[in-house]
Amino acid sequence: MNNRSSLTIRVRLTLWNVGAMILVLGVYVASVFVFVSRTESGGLDQILHDDYLWAAEMLDQDPDGTITWPTSNDTGSPDDGPWLQVWSPDGELLYRTLIARNNPLPETDLLAREANEEIVSVGAVNPPYRVFSVESRIGDEPVVIQVARSEFLMRRDLYQLLLVLLLQYYLLL
């Protein structure tokens, strides 16, 4: 074997190893991102379930039939309390917290009428919100309780993770 053909074999093996390393690192970066993304998304969905359970426990009905929240305070800041709305089964808005009034989300009336206990991402606002609508009861009255959370923090964290992973990927190459 002459020197020229062995050099060609070395170059080919080196290129093959570099290509394999790039592929493995790419799969690793994608796998980590998908895993963390699903974990974050599931965590946000669990928080929405917990918000609903908490709201269902805390909401009350006055003797005159109006829905009340124990810390109802229209003079508080928009960040006080949860994003919460309560609808009648026929689609009449019965109650909403200050943060829900100050941050209206499109199509929540339609979501309340459907109330299929699915978490829906409302992307018509920036950042998107996730909305959870559940048929429930306050006292003896059937209602639809709707809670929502912004995806801003989750998306920010995922964006930062993606930047770190891509930077590490670039530096390892």
pLDDT, residue 136, reads: 94
The CA distances from residue 4 to 9, 10, 17, in Å, are 9, 10, 20
Domain extent, residue 7, equals 1-173
Below-50 pLDDT ranges, the chain? 72, 74-79
pLDDT, residue 81, reads: 67
pLDDT, residue 82, reads: 84
pLDDT, residue 61, reads: 81
Other CB atoms within 10 A of residue 108 CB:
23
pLDDT, residue 76, reads: 44
pTM of the model: 0.77
* CA–CA gap between residue 11 and residue 91 (Å, rounded): 70
pLDDT, residue 4, reads: 64
* CA–CA gap between residue 78 and residue 96 (Å, rounded): 12
Residues 32-54: b if buried by 16+ CB within 10 A, e if exposed: eeeeebeebbeebeeebeebbee
Number of domains the chain is built from = 1
